C-alpha cells in the first residue's frame, strides 16, 4: 500500500524564490537562509519519493476572490508556474498524479471533506518556492506533486482543528491506496509575519519557536489555537501555519524530528523549516538497519 514516510514544513517567502532565480543565494543577506536548507537537500536525495502532497495557499494567482474554496485539490496532469505580475518563475513544470489525486478526492469526500477539485490551475510561489528549497535548481522536479490549496486569504478561514482533521483524513486516504507509493506531505507558509497595516513587519520569535516545539512534541495544544490568536500573536499572515498542522496530523501521533531551522529575518518574515519522520517508519528503518 501507499505510505507516508516523512513530512516537511517550510516557509514559502516569495523573495526567497527571487533570490534563487537571480543568483543571490550566496549574498551576505541570503546565505544564512539557504544554508539552513542544505541538510534537507542532501537528505532528500536518499528518500526515493514518488509523490508529494503539498499544502500551500494560492496568493490570488489562480484563485481570485470571486471563487474562494476552503480546500482545493489539484487533479491535473501538470501545473504551470504562475505569472504573479513579473512573469512565471524559471522553474520546471510541476507534474501531477491524476489517478492518485482522484483516489484522495474520493476518500476525503467520503470522510466528510467537501473538496473543490481543480482540473486546471497554475501554481504560484507558495508551491514552487518550497520545491526549489528542497530540490534546488534542476531541469525537472524528481517527484509528482498533488497541490492542496488552503484558503488563508479570505475570511472565513478553516480552523486549526479542521486542518488537523484533514491531515488525519489524508493519512487514512493514503494508506487505503493499493499501489506501492512513497508519499511525503508538506506544509508551507508562515511563520509569523504581517504585510500591511500598523503592525506591518511584525515577527514573533517566541510564538514561532513555541509552535515548532509543540509541532514536534505536543501538537494537541496547537489544535486549539484560534484564528484570533494567530492574528494577535503571529500577524495577519501567520494563519498560514494551519497548513503545517495538516502535514503534522498526516504523520500520526508521534514523530521523530530530523531537522529544524529558524531564521529572522528573510525579507519581512521569519523563516521556519522542519522535517519529521512518522515514528512507526523510523522504527521500521531502525529494525532494518
Which residues are annotated as catalytic? Answer: 125, 193
Measure the CA–CA gap between 98 and 104, rounded to whole angstroms. 10
For residue 222, the number of C-alpha atoms closer than 13 Å in the C-beta half-sphere is: 26
Measure the CA–CA gap between 73 and 285, rounded to whole angstroms. 31
Measure the CA–CA gap between 208 and 69, rounded to whole angstroms. 27
Residue 117 buriedness (CB in 10 A; 0-12 / 13-18 / 19+): middle
Task: Specify whether the CB–CB gap between 4 and 10 falls below 8 A.
Answer: no
Measure the CA–CA gap between 170 and 197, rounded to whole angstroms. 36
Measure the CA–CA gap between 215 and 159, rounded to whole angstroms. 16
β-strand 182-188 against 3-10: which pairing, if any?
Answer: parallel
Amino acid at each position: 500500500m501507499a505510505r507516508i514516510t516523512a513530512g516537511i514544513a517550510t516557509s514559502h517567502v516569495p523573495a526567497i524564490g527571487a533570490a534563487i532565480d537571480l543568483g543571490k543565494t550566496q549574498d551576505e543577506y541570503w546565505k544564512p537562509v539557504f544554508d539552513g536548507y542544505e541538510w534537507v537537500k542532501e537528505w532528500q536525495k536518499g528518500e526515493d519519493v514518488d509523490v508529494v502532497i503539498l499544502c500551500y495557499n494560492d496568493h490570488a494567482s489562480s484563485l481570485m476572490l470571486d471563487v474562494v474554496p476552503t480546500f482545493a485539490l489539484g487533479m491535473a496532469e501538470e501545473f504551470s508556474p504562475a505569472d504573479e505580475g513579473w512573469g512565471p518563475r524559471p522553474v520546471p513544470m510541476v507534474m501531477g498524479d491524476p489517478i492518485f489525486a482522484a483516489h484522495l478526492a474520493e476518500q476525503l469526500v467520503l470522510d466528510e471533506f467537501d473538496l473543490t477539485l481543480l482540473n486546471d490551475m497554475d501554481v504560484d510561489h507558495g508551491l514552487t518556492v518550497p520545491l526549489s528549497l528542497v530540490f534546488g535548481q534542476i531541469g525537472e522536479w524528481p517527484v509528482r506533486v498533488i497541490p492542496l490549496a488552503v484558503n488563508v486569504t479570505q475570511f472565513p478561514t478553516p480552523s486549526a482543528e479542521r486542518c488537523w482533521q484533514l491531515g488525519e483524513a489524508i493519512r487514512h486516504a493514503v494508506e487505503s491506496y493499493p499501489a506501492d507509493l512513497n508519499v511525503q506531505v508538506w506544509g508551507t507558509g508562515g511563520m509569523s509575519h504581517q504585510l500591511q497595516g500598523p503592525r506591518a513587519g511584525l515577527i514573533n520569535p517566541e510564538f514561532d519557536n513555541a509552535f515548532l516545539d509543540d509541532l514536534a512534541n505536543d501538537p494537541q495544544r496547537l489544535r486549539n489555537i484560534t484564528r484570533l490568536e494567530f492574528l494577535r500573536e503571529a500577524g495577519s499572515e501567520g494563519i498560514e501555519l494551519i497548513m503545517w498542522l495538516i502535514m503534522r496530523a498526516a504523520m500520526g501521533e508521534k514523530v521523530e524530528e530530523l531537522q529544524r531551522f529558524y531564521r529572522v529575518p528573510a525579507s519581512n518574515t521569519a523563516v521556519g523549516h522542519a522535517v519529521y519522520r512518522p515514528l512507526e517508519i523510523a522504527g521500521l528503518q531502525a529494525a532494518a538497519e
